[in-house]
Structure formats: C-alpha cells, structure tokens
C-alpha cells in the first residue's frame, strides 16, 4: 500500500508547480530524485524477497534429499559383491552368497542374493534383474574406548576425548562378555556400527597398551 501511494503521489497527482505561478524549474529536483530512489528501492525489495512458503518448501526438499542420501545410495544389482552390503526388505544386510542366472529369452539375467541383517543376523533373500538398481546402506564402523557401563548404556570416549553415551549394552552373550571383562578391570575397545539410523555395539577387544 505504501508503494502504491508513493507511486500515485509522484506520477499521477498534478505537480505542485502546476498549481502555482512559476515554471517546472521552480520545483525541487532533489526532492523528486529522493522520492524516485525510494520507489526503486521498494520495487527491488518487492521482487527479490522470496515468500515464506517458497523458502520453507526449499528447506524441506533439501532436508529430505540430504537425509535420504546419508542413509543409502543406489548400485546396479550386477555390481554387488559377496561380503558387501545391500538393503533387503528395508534392513541393512551383509551379502553372504550370490549367484547369477543365465539370460533368458524374455528378459535379463537375474541375481539371487542371500544376506544377513548386520544387526540381528536374520537371514534375507532377494532376486532381482541384474540391470536393476538396489539400495546399498552407508555403513560406518568406529572404535571407542569403554569408560563405564551405566544403566544399560555404554559410556564411550573417542581418541579426541569426546564422550558418547547413547549406545546400549548389546543383548545376549556379547553384552555379558563386555560386562564381565569390564568388571574384571580390563581396558576395552568396543566397535560401534551405524547404518540406516541404527547404531549398535557389535564387538569388543582389549585396548592397546597406553590407552
């Protein structure tokens, strides 16, 4: 509304010099120049500032793409290898066996995958055309020094001295072994594997001397 008023005041109203005796040169050129600069500046702001909805939509798209790419990446089925990783039925798995059938008359060769969940060791199988893409999980493996065990969680420390307290003690025999070794006063290093939003301790060993 302010922009419309200024535009109307400057360019549609009858100039003041036409209501009084005198010539156009008697009007204040500095005031007219200043007013026109104000209008130009407001026009620039009007057309360069994005709307809130557009900005929010851009941020949502970016966050979704980033989250997706951080969890998995596509790979052609024929490029998968034994001991590599693949996503089957939404679970991050390690490939333990794979075989490829010969190309038939009405389609491509097919790959038969046998894999186990890297966290639960549950067995999965899948058959896919060799030319199709499958999701491969981004799997990260890190070692931490075990500092304490508190209320079912491992208190860990990185080589840089940062602490990490959100990894649960493993269920079953592995958890019992870690607890027993820690109770014996041993210095331990634990291996934490992260994939597809999950994080678990999968193994441990004695810490090197000096740790």
Look at 111 and 54; give whichever has higher pLDDT.
Answer: 111
Separation of alpha carbons 157 and 131, rounded Å: 44
Predicted pLDDT at 146: 98
Q: At what angle do helices 2-11 and 29-48 cross, to 10 degrees?
A: 150
Query: Which class is 140-206 in CATH?
Result: mainly beta
Burial of 22 (0-12, 13-18, 19+ CB in 10 A): exposed
Start-end of CATH 2.40.50.140 domains in the chain? 140-206
pTM of the shown model: 0.63
Start-end of CATH 2.30.30.30 domains in the chain? 72-137
Look at 145 and 48; give whichever has higher pLDDT.
Answer: 145
Q: State mean pLDDT over 19-25.
A: 44
Predicted pLDDT at 209: 78
Q: State mean pLDDT over 16-25.
A: 44
pLDDT band at 210 (very low <50, low <70, confident <90, very high): low
**Do β-strands 153-157 and 198-206 pair in parallel, antiparallel, or remain unpaired?**
unpaired
Predicted pLDDT at 36: 59
Let me know if domain 72-137 sits in CATH 2.30.30.30: yes
CA 205 to each of CA 6, 36, 142, 186, 191: distance values in angstroms, whole numbers, following the listed order: 76, 76, 13, 10, 9
Look at 61 and 25; give whichever has higher pLDDT.
Answer: 25
Separation of alpha carbons 177 and 185, rounded Å: 13
Q: State mean pLDDT over 77-86.
A: 97
Q: What backbone torsions phi and psi does residue 104 show, to the nearest 5 degrees? A: -85, 180
């Amino acid at each position: 509304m302010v922009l419309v008023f200024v535009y109307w005041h400057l360019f549609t109203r009858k100039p003041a010099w036409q209501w009084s005796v005198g010539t156009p040169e008697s009007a204040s050129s500095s005031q007219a120049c200043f007013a026109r600069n104000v209008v130009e500046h407001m026009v620039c702001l009007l057309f360069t500032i994005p709307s809130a909805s557009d900005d929010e939509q851009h941020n949502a798209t970016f966050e979704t793409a980033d989250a997706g790419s951080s969890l998995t990446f596509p790979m052609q089925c024929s490029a998968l290898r034994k001991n590599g990783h693949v996503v089957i039925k939404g679970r991050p798995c390690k490939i333990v066996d794979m075989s490829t059938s010969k190309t038939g008359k009405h389609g491509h060769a097919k790959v038969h995958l046998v894999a186990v969940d890297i966290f639960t060791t549950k067995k999965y199988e899948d058959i896919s055309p060799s030319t199709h893409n499958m999701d491969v999980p981004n799997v990260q493996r890190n070692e931490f020094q075990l500092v304490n065990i508190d209320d079912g969680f491992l208190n860990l420390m990185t080589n840089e001295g940062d602490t990490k307290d959100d990894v649960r003690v493993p269920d079953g025999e592995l958890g019992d072994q870690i607890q027993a070794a820690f109770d014996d006063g041993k210095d331990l290093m634990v291996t934490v594997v992260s994939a597809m939003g999950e994080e678990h301790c999968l193994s441990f060993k004695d810490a090197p001397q000096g740790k």
